[in-house]
Amino acid sequence: MVSNSEKYTEKKARRSLSEEKRHSIAGYLFVSPFFILFAIFGLFPMLFSFYLAFFKWNGLGEMTYNGINNFTIIFNDPIFWKSIYNTVIIGLLGTVPQLIVAFLLAYALNSQVLRFKNTFRVAIFMPYVTSIVAVAILFSIIFNNQSFGLVNSFLGIFGVEPIVFTQSEWGAKIAIAAMIFWRWVGYNTIIYLAGMQSISNDLYEAAKIDGATLTQQLRYITLPMLKPFVLFTVFMGTIGSLQIFTEPLIFFGGNLREEGITVVAYLYRDAFENNFFGTASAVAIVLFVIIMVFSVINLLVTNRLGRGKARKA
Amino acid sequence: MKQVAINQPKKQPGRFILYGLLIFAGLVSLFPFYWMFVMATQPNHVINQTPPALLPGAELVTNFTNVLGTIDFFGAMMNSLIVSVAVTAGSLFLCSLAGFAFAKLKFKGRDVLFVLILITMMIPPQLGLIPTYYIISQLGWLSDLKAIIVPGLINAFGIFWMRQYIKEAVPDELIEAARIDGCSIFRVYWNIVTPAILPAFATLGIIVFMNVWNDFLWPLVVLQDQSSHTLQVALRALSDSYNRDYGMILSGTFWATVPLIIVFLLFNKAFISSLTQGAVKS
């Protein structure tokens, strides 16, 4: 700490001991609510999950030790593997096209000649503001199985027979991915736009003087400078995809079919519909491990790419 | 214009593509909202016809009356409001208090504790779902809004964010001066720190409020009585009702969405910047 006047230094010296003590007491007091609440609702449940994963329990009766059986049970359950497969496919279908489109939209919105910029921005961002439940209900009706469903009646114009979305392997995944795409594309557009606006105009100016074409500017300036933002959206997209739950639950109306069940939906069904708390905890641990692996990979990639470069984010 | 045009299309076709792309994207973004409104005004037999109606009908009031007969719409909205306001107010207070401590107070183990908080951000919420449910049931909080509010107060991101902001926005000298004048440390927080970080309250507040308002999994698990349902859980119950009255269902989702859209349109600048700030800074 820097003191301004002699008088102040003197005063500070006189009360420094008690001041230090006061700081300590206040500091511990101010941060304690987090740690107390976290101990009860964060740490304890987390440790208990690890414990529970080795027990057989229906939530009410006795817990019986089950060894690694819970893990054997889920690893031998084809639906569990299906849920992982579905999660990955839905995640890829919902996220990859979304990020590409978001990039294009951000690039268009960043154009200097564009008018009504804010109107476009607000329109594209609006889906993000609605609740996932409302979106999922709306899209489950848009992707209705019958010929009067909006998507089916559109396909009907081209003579396509109505698709039974809730029972079709790809239909279910596409419908769920569409919900994710629609809700998140605007959000990522805004992130990319923020990134593009943080790039100094001097760079483009210099490139122009050197005779760089638009494609060259995009490739050598915009994309490299945007890397931290792209990594952020990829990371959030990955973690978010691994936790998809609401969309399939609403889309299948409580009857979670294997065409669209995701890992978290599998966990939910095991725990709160079948009362298999032990195997559900085992699922939670597997999910935790998968998310940790992705986070570590992301951290490593970010560190490597960020090294020696001025970070923007 | 001071700024140099970045990707200025030199010919009309470039501009045409630019506007075409954005108009198409805007229409795709907005159409579902419009269609939700159309369906909310149509009787069921019109909805079940091919091709589907694309213009509003006359059943706006009837459909919403049916919603009110199926779920306690306003009760659920009230529950959502109570939960969201309580969590937002509570976590803004706790996060800024802890953020202040981490930014400006000196105490042993401060940096270790802060790193611990950052680490907790990496734990996926589903990991502790089952035991937390068990704790809540042991506390007798099932179907009680406390089940959402109390665990919702833990917000590691909020503490991190407040610490960064307070570090920059409040000069050390100001705090020292106030201490010399005899202010208690809590009064320094209350009279000096909080007024200086109002923008941080606003942005974090929007993020927290939206997250709580839209949360679904946890409320679905712990709010079992219909009277305790938040809007999201009530909407789910609405769409699960046996008679698939689409006009009624979409009337429910439409009226649940309208307040959000109004608030968003009023504060869209603050909204967008807070969500990107929260994202890009983390």
Instruction: List, for residues B102-148, the tens digit of each pLDDT value.
Output: 999 989 999 999 999 998 888 888 899 999 999 999 999 999 999 99
Query: B282 pLDDT exceeds 50?
Result: no
Q: What is the pLDDT of residue B18?
A: 87
Query: Given A42, A182, A205, which is nearest B120 (Cβ)?
Result: A42
Query: B188 pLDDT exceeds 50?
Result: yes
Query: B214 pLDDT exceeds 70?
Result: yes
Query: Cβ separation of B123 and A112 shorter than 8 Å?
Result: no
Q: What is the pLDDT of residue A227?
A: 86
Q: What is the pLDDT of residue A4?
A: 53
Cα dist from B261 to A128, B57, B267, whole Å: 10, 22, 10
Q: What is the pLDDT of residue A309?
A: 44
Q: What is the pLDDT of residue A146?
A: 78
Percent of chain A with pLDDT over 90: 40
Looking at per-residue confidence, does B280 or A281 come out higher?
A: A281
Q: What is the pLDDT of residue A311?
A: 40
Instruction: List, for residues A169-188, the tens digit of each pLDDT value.
Output: 888 899 999 999 999 999 99
- Work out the pLDDT band at A306, boundaries 50, 70, 90: low
Q: What is the pLDDT of residue A308?
A: 44
Q: What is the pLDDT of residue B42?
A: 86
Q: What is the pLDDT of residue A312?
A: 40
Query: Given B25, B216, B240, which is nearest A105 (Cβ)?
Result: B25
When pLDDT is averaged across residues A3-20 and rounded to a whole number, the result is: 57
Query: Cβ separation of A24 and B108 shorter than 8 Å?
Result: yes
- Nearest residue in chain A measured CA to CA from B131: A45
When pLDDT is averaged across residues B141-168 and rounded to a whole number, the result is: 93
Query: Cβ separation of B22 and A139 shorter than 8 Å?
Result: no
Tell which of A34, A107, A142, A270 to mutate to test the B interface (max B CBs under 10 Å).
Answer: A34
Query: B9 pLDDT exceeds 50?
Result: no
Percent of chain B with pLDDT over 70: 92
Q: What is the pLDDT of residue B3?
A: 47
Lowest mean pLDDT, pick from A69-83, B41-55, B120-134, B227-241:
B41-55
When pLDDT is averaged across residues B201-221 and rounded to a whole number, the result is: 91
- Nearest residue in chain B measured CA to CA from A11: B180
Query: B8 pLDDT exceeds 60?
Result: no
Distance between B198 CA and the closest CA of chain A, angstroms: 19
DSSP states along B6-40: SS--SSHHHHHHHHHHHHHHHHHHHHHHHHHHHHH
Query: Cβ separation of B3 and A112 shorter than 8 Å?
Result: yes
Confidence (pTM): 0.87
- Work out the pLDDT band at A2, boundaries 50, 70, 90: very low
Tell which of B130, B159, B211 to mutate to test the A interface (max A CBs under 10 Å).
Answer: B130
When pLDDT is averaged across residues A92-121 and rounded to a whole number, the result is: 89
Query: Cβ separation of B221 and A272 shorter than 8 Å?
Result: yes
Q: Tell me the pLDDT of chain B averaged across its residues.
A: 87
Looking at per-residue confidence, does B249 or B89 come out higher?
A: B89
Query: Cβ separation of B135 and A41 shorter than 8 Å?
Result: yes
Query: B159 pLDDT exceeds 90?
Result: yes
Q: What's the DSSP call for residue B121?
A: T
Query: A137 pLDDT exceeds 50?
Result: yes
Query: A17 pLDDT exceeds 80?
Result: no
Classify the phi-psi angles of A275: left when phi > 0, otherwise alpha if psi is within -120 to 50, otherwise beta. left
Query: Cβ separation of A245 and B217 shorter than 8 Å?
Result: yes
C-alpha A203, offset from chain centre:
32
Domain ranges of chain B: 67-278
Instruction: List, for residues B225-279, the tens digit of each pLDDT value.
Output: 889 999 999 999 888 766 678 888 889 999 999 888 888 888 888 888 887 776 6
Q: Tell me the chain A residues in contact with residue B212 when contact means C-beta distances shorter than 8 Å.
A: none
Query: A225 pLDDT exceeds 90?
Result: no
Q: Tell me the pLDDT of chain A averaged across its residues.
A: 85
Query: Cβ separation of B151 and A41 shorter than 8 Å?
Result: yes
Query: Given B5, B106, B279, which is nearest A112 (Cβ)?
Result: B5
Query: Given A22, A38, A264, which is nearest B126 (Cβ)?
Result: A264
**Whether B124 contacts A243, CB under 8 Å:** yes
- Work out the pLDDT band at A9, boundaries 50, 70, 90: low
Q: What is the pLDDT of residue B245?
A: 83
When pLDDT is averaged across residues A82-98 and rounded to a whole number, the result is: 93
Distance between B186 CA and the closest CA of chain A, angstroms: 8
Instruction: List, for residues A263-297, the tens digit of each pLDDT value.
Output: 999 999 989 888 899 999 999 999 999 999 988 88
Q: Which of B10-14, B41-45, B241-245 has the highest mean pLDDT?
A: B41-45
Query: A1 pLDDT exceeds 50?
Result: no
Q: What is the pLDDT of residue B184?
A: 87
Query: Given A52, A153, A205, which is nearest B52 (Cβ)?
Result: A153
Instruction: List, for residues A149-176, the tens digit of each pLDDT value.
Output: 888 888 888 878 888 887 888 888 999 9
Q: What is the pLDDT of residue B153?
A: 94
Give dist(CA A208, CA A202) in Å, integer.
10
Distance between B109 CA and the closest CA of chain A, angstroms: 10
Q: What is the pLDDT of residue B243?
A: 66
Distance between B68 CA and the closest CA of chain A, angstroms: 17
CATH fold label, B67-278: MetI-like fold (1.10.3720)
Closest CA to B38 of B235, B231, B246, B242: B246
- Work out the pLDDT band at A12, boundaries 50, 70, 90: low
Distance between A169 CA and the closest CA of chain B, angstroms: 23
